[in-house]
Structure formats: structure tokens, C-alpha cells
Amino acid sequence: AGNADATYAAILAIDPSDPGALEARLRRELPAARRGEREAVQHVVTALRSLATLAGEDSSRLATELRLAILVEGSANGASDGPGAREALAHYREALRLDPLSVTAATGLARTANRLNDTEGAVAAASALAELASEPGARSRYLLEAAELLLSTEADERLGTYFERRQRASSLLERALDADADAIGAATVLCAVRTEDGAGERLVDPLRSALRRAKNVEAIIFYGSEIARIARDDLADLPLGIDAMRRVRAVAPDHAPSLLTLSELCIAQRAWPEAVDALESVVDKAREVPPRLTALFALASIYEHVLERPGDAETALRSALELDPAGARALRALIRHVSTHHAPTLESLS
């Protein structure tokens, strides 16, 4: 064994890139290197570095890069930063370039990038893990992670300009929402980014797609409410907002804020029957007083000024006064209404 080691050492002294000698040294020293023997680790790392530069086929190069990355990372002695960890990251990064579907490369890159706070590596790892994930929720979470890294204030300049990073993050968030329609976290970040960038109209298509597929009630409420806001404030497309809020009502018939939004859109569209129906649902189903009062005042106004049903308007105002006996608004509105429609019976209020 000693003569063989000396022979290989002599060959490598003459030609450090001799493939046969490198492979032989690698085979002989690898068991000791795996046990952590420092000298063996150094010899194996040196051999692998040389073999990596000599490898012609991608498959051979990939195997060498991964072996080198694992060995160098393991010999870094737990240091969170340092040349060993950085070299391991570089080898994992190259392995992932050679095979974007390599689980070992993706997980190794994620691990070392996290240790080194390397944003570019972490984004690449999260993106690769998203492609590898078979479960929609996991895929969505990895895409969200990559997007949040791109949006972080410490984003790596290698990832592009501020605008390029935000565009790329938005694309990843749309993919996250496409992968998992119930990914409300991804949707929240996407809405914030698009709104801040003045591109709210670009939210409509991904949100409508998610709204059709989502099963989580909270997610459906969020998507519908966002679509309604954009339809009303940015696009002046009331039917779009009404359609979204109808979907919300179908799964959350007791959600007072959504019912009030639907009624508001219907009032603006002059769809009075649906507006009244939504407001009456708030009165019947809401547990808290403020939304019920809002609905009653809106009903009274529609009954009196639009549908010409003063009796129903008075009933709505009296219900509001019962709900809030100390409230001046209901009392003033009822006095005005009674004095207008049947002044002779004003004493009935006393």
C-alpha cells in the first residue's frame, strides 16, 4: 500500500491532472476521508477538484461536483461562514446547473446558502425545490419563499435590479397561487407588490383563477374582496366585482363585510333587488351591531328614495333605533321620515 501511494504521488507530482492516478488516489483515500481523517480529506478534495475540471460528460461532472460539495461541506467543521462552506455552495450551485432536478444539489444549496446568508443561492435552491415538489402546497411554499427572498431589502445584486427582482417575484407568486389556489399568503404578498407598483389590474386574472379553484373560505373571501376593490377603484367594472362577491356569498352567506360590499356594488350598478336582498341578509345574519345598523340605514334610503316604500323605510329606521337606542342618527332619521310622510302622527314618537 505504501509503495502504491508513493507511486501515485510521484505520478501526480509529474502530472497533477493524470486521470488514472487521481482516480486511484480517490479510491484509496475515500474511506479514510469519510471517517474524517484530515490528510485523507485533503487528498480526496484535491483529486476531486482536478477530476471536476477534467470531466467531459455532464453526468460524470455532476457526480464529481456533488461528491466534492458533500465532502467539503462536511469538512467545514460546522463553521457558518468560511472558505469551506463557500466552496461547498459553489459546487452545489454548479451541480444544480448541470441537473436542475437534482434533489441532493437543491437541498445542499439550500442548506449552505442559509448558513452563508447567500440570497442568490437561496432563491435558486427554493426555485429548484419548487420544481421538485409533487405536493401543491409544498410547491407553493417554496415559490413564496423564493419570492420573499427576492423582495427582501438584502437582495443580492446578482439577482438583478430592484424592478427586475419585483417582476420576477410577482411571477413566482402567480405560480405559487396557480399551484395552490388556497395559498392566501402568496396572494397577499402578490396583491401588495402589484398594488405598490401601480399594476392592480394585473391581479384580476390570477385572482379570478384562484377564486374559481379555491376551497378555503378565508381565501375565497380575500380573493373576492380584492377583485371587487380593483373592479370598483381601478377598472370601473362593477359587473366584475359583483360576480366575484356572488362567489363569496355562495360559500360565506353570513359574512357581513362581504354582503355589504356586494350591496354597495349592486347599488352603484342600480341592481336594487340584489342590493336589498344582500342588505336584508346582513340585518338577519350579522352578529355585531355596526354592520346591521349600516344595512338598516341603507335599506331605509333605498326603500324611501328608490323603491317608494315609505312604510318599509320607517320599519328599517325603527329597527335601527331598537338596535341603538342611544344613537342620535337613527332618532333624527326617524323623526325626519315621520314628519315628512305622516306629520299628524308625530306624537307617536313620544
Predicted pLDDT at 126:
97
The residue type at 11: I
pLDDT of 123 above 80: yes
Question: Are 159 and 150 in contact, with CB atoms under 8 Å apart?
Answer: yes
Question: Are 22 and 47 in contact, with CB atoms under 8 Å apart?
Answer: yes
Q: How far apart are CA 48 and CA 91, in angstroms?
A: 11
Predicted pLDDT at 66:
87
Question: Are 49 and 56 in contact, with CB atoms under 8 Å apart?
Answer: no
Mean pLDDT of the chain: 86
Q: How far apart are CA 67 and CA 75, in angstroms?
A: 12
Burial 315-332 (b: 16+ CB within 10 A, else e): ebbbbbbeebeeeeebbe
Q: How far apart are CA 51 and CA 239, in angstroms?
A: 65
User: CB 243: neighbour CB atoms within 10 A?
Assistant: 17
pLDDT tier at 75, thresholds 50, 70, 90: confident
Q: What is the pLDDT of residues 165-205, one digit of tens each?
A: 999 999 999 999 999 999 999 999 999 999 999 999 999 99
Question: Are 177 and 212 in contact, with CB atoms under 8 Å apart?
Answer: no
List the one residue out of 69, 80, 88, 71 whose CA is nearest residue 31.
Answer: 71
Q: How far apart are CA 82 and CA 36, in angstroms?
A: 18
pLDDT tier at 344, thresholds 50, 70, 90: low
- 74's CB contacts (< 8 A; 6+ apart) are 36
